Amino acid sequence: NAGVTQTPKFQVLKTGQSMTLQCAQDMNHNSMYWYRQDPGMGLRLIYYSASEGTTDKGEVPNGYNVSRLNKREFSLRLESAAPSQTSVYFCATHQRQGGSGYTFGSGTRLTVV
Amino acid sequence: SQQGEEDPQALSIQEGENATMNCSYKTSINNLQWYRQNSGRGLVHLILIRSNEREKHSGRLRVTLDTSKKSSSLLITASRAADTASYFCATFPSEYGNKLVFGAGTILRVKS
């Protein structure tokens, strides 16, 4: 049981390049989230998907796009990477019913030079 | 903007001592959660306390919630070196629907 799998684990991009961060879950959870973590800032929500077929902006959506491909997969795309997007990105899943917490992936460390 | 703020930002204690971390938040909530993050890893859910609960225990963890003061505390008793990690409180604000909002975290170092 893998839980939440993120790929890649590390990536270095040049300014202006594009890339897609992948997230897949086998938890059968309806909701999926993308957060970024910067030193001293905690986690900030970029985008989320409450259920398959829906996506909504979070606190810091500028410069990102997302796709909820199916119930299992939620991808985050950087169309034109900027140094300000250097961060650690976490995908998380949640099933609202049952009062449980979020399940996080192990993260993608992205550096934009 | 962040909903929760943890205090202290960093805490260093000896193995066997208790560690207390505090969290304050701004708006009404459905529940409050605590997470642990080991260096270079993802966050792990520790405990959830609902807005109508005042105290909850899980193993060596004790969480309190005071909704009148909009604050919570996490107590780790008899700390171990393996408890060294960052600890985050996160709130499920009543009006934000299905979104968890995190604080900046407390870095805990347990010295053996």
* Model confidence pLDDT, tens digit, residues A57-76: 999 999 999 999 899 999 99
State residue B94's pLDDT score: 73
* A8-54 tens-digit pLDDT: 999 999 999 999 999 999 999 999 999 999 987 789 999 999 999 99
State residue B44's pLDDT score: 96
State residue B1's pLDDT score: 47
| Mutation for testing the A interface, residue in B32, B44, B100 having most A CBs under 10 Å | B100
Give yes or no for a contact between A83 and A20, defined as CB atoms under 8 angstroms apart: no
Contacts of A65 (CB under 8 A, 6+ apart): A47, A76, A77, A79
Strands (E), A1-113: 4-7, 10-13, 19-25, 31-38, 42-49, 56-57, 64-68, 74-78, 87-94, 103-104, 108-112
Question: What is d(CA A68, CA A59) in angstroms, rounded to the nearest whole number?
Answer: 18
A 73-102 near B (Cβ less than 8 A):
90, 92, 94, 96, 99-102
Banded model confidence at residue A95, pLDDT cuts 50, 70, 90: confident
Nearest to B102 among A31, A43, A99 (CB): A43
| Below-50 pLDDT ranges, chain B | 1
